[in-house]
């Protein structure tokens, strides 16, 4: 499928609404908080659309969604796109400073936020004059805020879609880098049916009888693609889980209750499930026919242990927010555990050296991707955009080599970023926190593999001459990290060293710490 196969004027509400003719009363969405048929989903989308229009939200305006995975997340997303506005699905694990940047950079007009996250934005929301209305899923805390249920309850159940061009933008995602602010990535209406067809249908073979469930959240492109766009595109259903995917018992109970056929996971979740004694005897996972993994490399031993425990083969795949979804994948029947598989039809891959020349087979190079779902630029970041979007080719920042059978193997990144549980970690953020402790002279953080082969933060700390490396000091540093950092960013190991490796010009060489 090519973008040009779509009608020139196309709106992604089609992905939901095409189901009305064939299966209006089929359950479209399952969750512990309630289920929804396709008819009910369309009706709620239309109500939210009207309510947004009453707030004078127009074509191109940005509306944020900051919420655990719930039906309101989904209907808000389609409603925003349906009226021609831009949906910003926000990571629920950021800090106030990051939300501050994102609200400013996106010129957010309306924020739809779950009550559990009101506290996180309380201190920053008043700094944004563009933010005109906060809608609360649950109980509103301020008089000027409105509760989602009240806000939509008297709105009409039908709504005309904005005739958006297939190249108009409908979503914005922020992705973090090692230095500098998060990068805003806009995707167009056309990108959604493209990935649904190329990845959902052509690669995974998802069909109407499937039911997807994702431990990766809807704010994460991997999650919304595989657990909302793909299933609804083919008339299948999705299962939402509002809890944290770290609570794997909740994840497993959700599988038992709603019997999905496809599980969309990340390596840390597979590994955490495997660490539960007798998990495959305690929980019934027999509904599953396919397990996907992405976000970070899936270690071969985790793949093997999952196969031994469940009989199921996990398909490791890699994509990125810039391309919206998967471009390399292991496929059913041809899996090489530990590798990221082979290129998808519809995408081209190149591995190049520092001069942009193709490397030969077996040699490690920078991974470049070409495909029609790739974004065009980073919002408000001209330099960074020029570095990353090279004509038709996207420079992903990953290093890869290809084996003689054509399988691609991840060989780390060109920058110092790493992923824990599929979520970005910038060493600099952790270093900033550690540096606030009076005993720390300087420090550096890297991603190091644990016993299961999964990458976790490790800190190397140099103390000033007045302090000694004691157990007490270590406890203080860890306490500081617990107070200041999201769980996945907390160092699992802290090592005290005398000096950090640096270049002659004084630039810290984090990569050298991997050999310490
Ligand atoms: C890393 C992997 C090794 C890699 C994503 C599937 O993760 C997604 O998007 P992000 O923008 O991050 C992209 C970066 O994450 N990565 C992802 N998967 C793997 N590294 N093996 C893997 N299997 O550095 C990549 O550049 O958050 C994943 C589908 C859609 C996505 N957006």
* Structural domains of the chain sorted by starting position, each given as residue range(s) with its CATH number in brackets: 1-189 (3.40.50.980), 425-515 (3.30.300.30)
Dist CA 370 CA 389 (whole Å): 10
- Residue 67: CB partners within 8 Å, gap ≥ 6? 73, 92, 112, 113, 114, 117, 137
Say if residue 178's pLDDT is above 70: no
From the CA of 397, give the closest atom in ligand 1: 26
Mutation choice for ligand 1 from 271, 318, 330, 397, CB with most ligand atoms inside 8 A: 318
Question: In a mutational test of the pocket of ligand 1, which residue from 173, 294, 424 has the highest number of ligand atoms less than 8 Å from its CB?
Answer: 294
- pLDDT exceeds cutoff 70 at 506: no
Under DSSP, the state recorded for 116 is G
The pLDDT of residue 253 is 97
- H/E stretch holding 89 reads strand 86-89
395 lines ligand 1 (CB under 6 A): no
Is residue 366 pLDDT above 70, yes or no?
Answer: yes
49 close to ligand 1 (CB < 6 Angstrom): no
Q: Quote the ligand 1 centre to 19 CA distance (angstroms).
A: 30
Question: What is the band of 176 on the pLDDT scale with cuts at 50, 70, 90?
Answer: confident
pLDDT recorded at residue 80? 99
Tell how far the Cα of 58 is from the centroid of ligand 1, in angstroms. Answer: 32
Mean pLDDT of 423-428: 87
pTM: 0.91
Q: How confident is the model at residue 504 (pLDDT cuts 50, 70, 90)?
A: low
User: Which residue puts its alpha carbon closest to atom 17 of ligand 1?
Assistant: 295
In sequence order, which residues have a C-beta less than 8 Å from that of residue 218 and are 6 or more positions away?
A: 69, 73, 74, 77, 89, 224, 227, 228, 240
Q: Is the pLDDT of residue 262 over 90?
A: yes
Whole-number mean pLDDT of the chain?
95
Q: What is the pLDDT of residue 97?
A: 86
* Strand, coil or helix: 172: strand
Residue 426 banded pLDDT, cuts 50, 70, 90 = confident
325 close to ligand 1 (CB < 6 Angstrom): yes
pLDDT at 494: 97
- Band (288; pLDDT cuts 50, 70, 90): very high
Q: How many residues are recorded in the chain? A: 516
User: Once rounded to an integer, what is the mean pLDDT over residues 333-343?
Assistant: 96
Comparison of pLDDT for 183 and 177, the residue scoring more: 183
465: pLDDT strictly greater than 90 = no
Ligand 1, closest atom to CA 221?
A: 32
**How many A from CA of 30 to the centre of ligand 1?**
27
Any alpha helices (H) in 123-247, and if so which ranges? 148-152, 191-195, 221-224, 230-234
175 lines ligand 1 (CB under 6 A): yes
- Give the whole-number percent of the chain exceeding pLDDT 70: 98
Q: Give pLDDT, residue 372.
A: 98
Q: Count the neighbouring beta carbons within 10 Å of the beta carbon of residue 321.
A: 18
Confidence of residue 126 (pLDDT cuts 50, 70, 90): very high
pLDDT at 308 over 80: yes
Pocket flag, ligand 1, residue 176 (CB < 6 Å): no
CA distance 409 to 340: 6
Does the pLDDT of residue 328 top 70, yes or no? yes
């Amino acid at each position: 499928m090519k973008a040009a196969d779509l009608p020139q004027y196309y709106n992604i509400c089609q992905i939901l609404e095409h189901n009305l003719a064939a299966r209006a009363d089929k359950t479209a969405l399952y969750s512990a908080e309630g289920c929804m048929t396709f008819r009910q989903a369309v009706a709620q989308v239309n109500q939210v659309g009207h309510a947004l229009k009453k707030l004078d939200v127009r074509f191109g305006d940005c509306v944020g969604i900051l919420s655990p995975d719930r039906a309101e997340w989904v209907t808000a997303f389609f409603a925003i796109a349906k009226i021609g506005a831009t949906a910003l699905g926000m990571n629920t694990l950021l800090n106030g400073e990051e939300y501050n940047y994102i609200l400013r950079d996106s010129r957010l007009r309306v924020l739809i936020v779950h009550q559990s996250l009101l506290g996180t934005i309380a201190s920053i929301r008043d700094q944004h004059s563009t933010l005109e209305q906060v809608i609360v899923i649950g109980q509103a805390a301020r008089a000027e805020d409105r509760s989602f249920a009240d806000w939509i309850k008297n709105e009409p159940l039908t709504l005309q879609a904005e005739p958006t061009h297939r190249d108009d933008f409908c979503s914005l995602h922020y992705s973090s880098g090692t230095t500098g602010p998060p990068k805003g990535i806009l995707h167009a209406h056309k990108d959604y049916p493209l990935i649904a067809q190329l990845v959902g249908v052509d690669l995974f073979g998802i069909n109407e009888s499937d039911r997807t469930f994702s431990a990766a959240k809807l704010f994460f492109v991997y999650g919304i693609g595989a657990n909302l766009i793909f299933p609804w595109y083919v008339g299948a259903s999705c299962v939402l889980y509002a809890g944290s995917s770290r609570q794997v018992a909740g994840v497993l109970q959700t599988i038992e209750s709603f019997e999905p056929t496809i599980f969309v996971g990340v390596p840390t979740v597979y590994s955490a499930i495997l660490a539960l004694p007798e998990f495959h005897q305690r929980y019934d996972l027999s509904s599953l026919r396919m397990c996907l993994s992405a976000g970070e490399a899936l270690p071969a031993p985790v793949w093997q242990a999952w196969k031994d425990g469940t009989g199921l083969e996990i398909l490791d795949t890699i994509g990125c927010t810039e391309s919206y979804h998967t471009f390399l994948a292991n496929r059913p029947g041809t899996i090489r555990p530990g590798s990221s598989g082979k290129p998808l039809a519809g995408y081209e891959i190149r591995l190049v050296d520092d001069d942009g020349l193709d490397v030969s087979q077996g040699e490690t190079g920078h991974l470049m991707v070409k495909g029609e779902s790739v974004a065009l630029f980073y919002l408000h970041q001209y330099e960074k955009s020029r570095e990353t979007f090279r004509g038709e080719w996207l420079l992903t920042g990953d290093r890869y080599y290809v084996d003689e059978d054509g399988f691609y193997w991840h060989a780390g990144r060109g920058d110092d970023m790493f992923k824990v549980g599929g979520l970005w970690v910038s060493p600099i953020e952790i270093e900033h926190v550690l540096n606030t402790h009076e005993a720390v002279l300087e420090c550096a953080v890297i991603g190091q593999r644990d016993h299961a082969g999964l990458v976790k933060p490790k800190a190397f700390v140099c103390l000033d001459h007045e302090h000694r490396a004691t157990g007490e000091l270590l406890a203080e540093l860890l306490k500081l990290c617990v107070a200041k950092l999201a769980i996945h960013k907390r160092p699992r190991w802290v090592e005290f060293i005398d000096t950090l490796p640096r270049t002659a010009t004084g630039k810290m060489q984090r990569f050298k710490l991997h050999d310490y």
